[in-house]
Amino acid sequence: MVGGRLIPGNAARGPRSTSRRSARVVGWACVGVLAATPARGAEPPPLPSAADCISTFNTIQSWVRDWTVSHEAQPIDPPGTTGACVTLRLGGRVLGRGTSFADDRVAAWRAAREAFVQAVESLPVEEDALRARRIEEMTPRVTLDIQFSGRLTPLLIEDESAMAHLIAPGVEGLAARIGARIEGVFPGAMLSTGTTAVDGLRVAMSRLNLPPRPLPELKRSTDLVVYRFSVRHLAQPREQAAPEFLFRGGRVISSSEVTGSRLREAAAAISAHLVSHAWPGVEPCGMTGDYRPLIDRYEPMIAEPLEQAACAFALARYATTPGIAERDASRARRFAAEILDRLTAIAPDEKDPADDPIASGMWLAAHDALRESGVPDTAPSEFKERVLATLLRTVTMRDGSFEWTADAPIAGRGVLALALASVARHDDSKRALAVATVRSLYRDTEAARLVSEMPWLGWAELALTERNDELPSAVALIEMRRAATNFQLKEEDLDANEADLLGGTVFTRSRAPLPTWNSLRPAAFFATMLGDPRMTPAAEVLPELSRLRASLRFLLQLMIDDPVLHMYRDRERSIGGVRPAVWEQSAALEPAAMALLTLSEALRAMDARSPRGAPPAGSP
């Protein structure tokens, strides 16, 4: 359970892209640009104009309304277009998708005709006397999605593995050429099918009828050329809506949108989304797993105990956040209590939290947070004893010296520390052990890795320290925050095709890394630090608030909102979900829980540092 889990570990490693990122961000890796120089002569524009793309979109949309596409070629491509991908959807489900590359201005027509032929065959309409009428009634609900490719840039690559470092996922597409024939995969289609750059190249080559052989071998035996390209992407976010230009399948969140009201709305949306994961049956299963909106399915059906307990912890913390609606707080408390209660009754297909130290620790921390929110303790004593016993098996004190036992996992010890600190708040006999656990983590964790234990270790420190007392690790925490901000992406670090990554933080040593939801783990505690004068003196509030706003902008970028819903099947199940990365299309529980914690801490910090609750100057 390392990597993309809620527990600390290496940052999740997703697709990478080349960029102009500064050395302080990619100081651990150097990536060469492997794009070949285009042929001499007048270069085509990088992308067709927006106005021309809208005109072509409107033309094809009229064909969809009439439910007919001419058999005769229609030269409607915007100038500068090298190819087109047309997708027709009904309720988020793909009815048909056509792709064409051409230099005779008929690529959009060919792609539209291919999509239309597929759609006619896949429409959920019976073959009977009323078919024509039913189709006529259904066509207004069909949505249109078109991508127009611009200049094709050759790639000099020796093997397929280089693709992951060169293609901006969800922004750039891939094409392959043999002779005069070109086939390719568009970035929007790759997003909506979960296709990687390597798989996209294989798809393009298979469409050229090339055998499944290694790329170097194919290049030696054929005149194969591989390209990448950017697109203009237009899609209707919902039926009968005007088209919108999309970036990586959605839109780029502006920094100006990071306001107090927007953050409260986002927190309420995430809370409501988590509640929507309530197990639909009578079994005590708690929550369904991650939601896959592209296929309208929960995978796994039952969420892991650690995920459920983390969601309960986040909901309990959210319920005590200043400024949120009481109905939202009440709903969050009720569902958090339901989750923890159901985790105490193990269904036949469900894992027992007491079998896992980290899940046990998270349950205990969530249980304490729920009591702090005002919910009475009704958990069965036998279950509490079992999870506490599992937790205590991970630590020991011998002759006054603290040790981790063989039962203690390497990753996730910050969670164990928070759990022990939560227990010690109500059982003074455990306080010495909890303090020793926290101190050992600060002492034995190298400075560069301390951030990987956040936010849990930071919250454990605060749970063991009275509000007005000096924080033993304040200096280490301040230095950790200072060092971490060096890895937060700023405008000067990013290419045009990376605008939505602004504010994300990268801690991985991988080549050309991209930020994921793991950026939120330190951000959650940095928000806590902002609200605590012991770690953020008054003179430093505005600078730290500015950095936190950038993290919150990235958080909002990860959320599922209207534009990205054009490719999802169920709006209500999707809205308010949080994606693991901007190029991934799933509403995952762990990112959502961490996002809700980050928002709650940010709102709590703003309230704490504001006179009479008014936001400080320059605040979100």
Q: What is the pLDDT of residue 247?
A: 94
In order of 227, 273, 562, 583, the CA distances from 187 in angstroms are: 13, 27, 19, 10
Determine the 3-state secondary structure of 518 from DSSP. Answer: helix
Class of the domain covering 255-613: mainly alpha
Q: What is the pLDDT of residue 5?
A: 39
Q: Which two tokens stand for residue 530?
A: 């902002």
pLDDT in tens, 93-110: 999 999 999 989 999 999
DSSP string, 25-94: TSTT------BPPPPSSPPPPSS--HHHHHHHHHHHHHHHHHT---SS----PPTT--EEEEEEEETTEE
CB atoms within 10 A of CB 346: 17
Determine the 3-state secondary structure of 258 from DSSP. Answer: coil
Q: What is the pLDDT of residue 94?
A: 94
Residues in Cβ contact with 334 at an 8 Å cutoff, skipping those fewer than 6 apart: none
Question: Does an H or E element contain 146, and which?
Answer: strand 142-149
pLDDT under 50: residue ranges of the chain:
1-42, 510, 613-620
Cβ atoms of 385 and 424 within 8 Å: the answer is no
Residue 242 and residue 235: Cα distance in Å, rounded? 8
pLDDT in tens, 151-208: 999 988 877 777 777 888 999 999 999 999 999 999 999 999 888 999 999 999 999 9
CB atoms within 10 A of CB 466: 7
Q: What is the pLDDT of residue 461?
A: 95
The DSSP 8-state label assigned to residue 13 in this structure reads: -
Q: What are phi and psi of 587, to 5 degrees?
A: -100, 95
Residues in Cβ contact with 559 at an 8 Å cutoff, skipping those fewer than 6 apart: 266, 269, 270, 576, 577, 578, 579, 595
Query: Domain-by-domain residue ranges, the chain?
Result: 50-167+172-245, 255-613
Q: What is the pLDDT of residue 497?
A: 84
Q: What is the pLDDT of residue 445?
A: 87
Residue 24 and residue 240: Cα distance in Å, rounded? 47
pTM for this model (two decimals): 0.89
Rg (CA), the chain: 26
Residue 454 and residue 523: Cα distance in Å, rounded? 9
